[in-house]
Amino acid sequence: MYLNSLRKHEILRKKQVISELFRCRKSLKSDNIKIVYSFLDSGGKHPESSAAAVLFAVSKKSVPKAVMRNRVKRLMKEAYRLEKTVLLQKKELPDAIRENRTLCLAVIYIGGNRKLPAFALFRKEMSRLLRTLSSG
C-alpha cells in the first residue's frame, strides 16, 4: 500500500544506531551520492512494516548554503522514495527482519561542484546504487 512513500518510521533518527552504522559500515559510491549501509538493530516500533531505515546527509563543506542543502536532501529523498522497491526484492532482508535487524542506510551527498545535478541524475545514481546493494 505504501510502496512509494517515505513514512516517518523509515527515517533513521536514533543517535546510537547512527553511530553504530558509521562504526561498522560498508559503502557504495557514485559520482554524487555515497551510501553507507549495515544490518543493525534499529530499535524501531515498526520492524515488520519497513525493510530499511534511512538518513540523508549533506555537509556544509560541500554545499555551503542552507537553501541548497535542503534542496539536495529533498532530491535525494524523492529519488530514494521512487527507487526503494528494489530493496524489498532483496532475498536476505526477510532473514534480517526475523533476527529483528534492519537494513540501515545513510545517503550522503558528495558532489562538490557548484552546479546542482538534475533530479534525473540523482534518480539514476540512486537506482544503480540500490540495485548494486540488493544484488550483493
Summarize pLDDT for 5-47 with one digit per residue, the tens.
888 888 898 899 899 999 987 999 999 999 999 988 755 555 4
List the strands of the sheet with 33-40, edge to edge: 26-29, 33-40, 102-109, 52-58
**Burial category of 92 from C-beta neighbours within 10 Å (exposed 0-12, middle 13-18, buried 19 and up):** exposed
Segment 51-90, tens digit of pLDDT: 688 999 999 998 999 999 999 999 999 999 999 888 777 6
Which pLDDT does position 119 carry in this prediction?
A: 94
Q: Are 22 and 106 in contact (CB under 8 A)?
A: yes
Quote the CA–CA distance of 37 and 24 in Å, as a whole number.
Answer: 9
Residue 72 has, within 13 A of its CA and on its CB side, a CA count of: 26
Going from the N-terminus, what domains does the chain have, and what CATH number goes with each? 8-135 (3.30.230.10)
Residue 4 has, within 13 A of its CA and on its CB side, a CA count of: 4
pTM of the predicted structure, to 2 decimals? 0.84
